[in-house]
Amino acid sequence: MSTDFGLPGRVAIITGAARGLGAATAELFARFGAHVVGCDIDGDELEKTVSGLEGEGHLALAFDLSQPENCESLVAQTLERHGRLDILVNVAGIIERIELDEVDEAAWARTMDVNVKSQFFLCRAASEPMKKAHWGRIVNFTSQAAHTGGFYGTSVYAVSKGGVVSLTKNFARLLGPDNITVNAIAPALVDTRMVSGNMTEEAIDNVTSAMPIGRMTDAAEIAMSVAFLASESAATITGHTLDINGGLLMR
């Protein structure tokens, strides 16, 4: 396999691309020659990230992906611009730390809508052009919380990420015959705003000290795993959840 993972010329939708893991994935894919369609609810930050990408043919599309019609518009506008869609990377997600007693229907809907529902509608919409091309790669972002059940205050987040593991397997079964693979990545701790905004230094140290590798993962390291799963070399890996967790949990 060449070091560009076969990405030159591929058209890739990457959600949550304004910052964090989505931005790191967009940067790596652009560096390897993909045409990135970055999507995020934060249009200003998305514009900055996409305008700084290497190469040409990138697009910044601001959408709130909790709305299914926006998921469909994202795929439709990608096809209008490029005429094809090879790769979908579902990174966008939120975490809200809420005491169990305070979880209400609105909080439940906010997390499920972004973390699971958007991935469902994007997988479904993206699969149509991929089926026609008889080639496609989908990578969904879940979390170690899907396996551990999360911590106090993250019950809904953990359930949403468990849903991502199930939907990944479901679409992997449905789309395999069309030569489309569907996998998930389950990070433990990556130094993004999601972590710095929700965890103290002490809490981070407690988790990393329980890891055999003993440190957080870099966003760029996660992006390399996404690129591998999107490559031709990963053609028979599907329905898999890849743990990237410093050995915190060995399943």
Active site residues: 157
Site size toward ligand NAD (CB under 6 A) is 27
Sheet strand arrangement including 87-90: 59-62, 35-40, 11-15, 87-90, 136-141, 180-187, 241-244
Determine contact, residues 177/186, Cβ cutoff 8 Å.
no
Site for ligand NAD in 80-99 (CB under 6 A): 91-94
Categorise residue 33: left if φ over 0, alpha if ψ from -120 to 50, beta otherwise: left
Say how many residues make up the chain.
251
Determine contact, residues 244/185, Cβ cutoff 8 Å.
yes
Q: Which of 7, 37, 65, 234 binds ligand NAD (CB under 6 A)?
A: 65
Q: Which of 7, 12, 13, 21 binds ligand NAD (CB under 6 A)?
A: 21
d(CA 155, CA 69): 27
The residue among 19 and 82 lying less far from ligand NAD, judged by its C-beta, is: 19
- The reply to whether 248 sits near ligand NAD by the rule CB under 6 A is no
- The reply to whether 129 sits near ligand NAD by the rule CB under 6 A is no
The residue among 6 and 91 lying less far from ligand NAD, judged by its C-beta, is: 91
The residue among 139 and 172 lying less far from ligand NAD, judged by its C-beta, is: 139
Buried b / exposed e across 35-62, counting CB within 10 Å, b at 16+?
bbbbbbbeeebbeebbeebeeeebbbbb
Q: Which of 114, 125, 165, 248 binds ligand NAD (CB under 6 A)?
A: 114
- The reply to whether 183 sits near ligand NAD by the rule CB under 6 A is no
The residue among 168 and 192 lying less far from ligand NAD, judged by its C-beta, is: 192
- The reply to whether 120 sits near ligand NAD by the rule CB under 6 A is no
**Residues of the shown chain interacting with ligand NAD in the complex, contacts defined by CB under 6 A:** 15-16, 18-22, 40-42, 64-66, 91-94, 114, 141, 143, 187, 189-190, 192-195
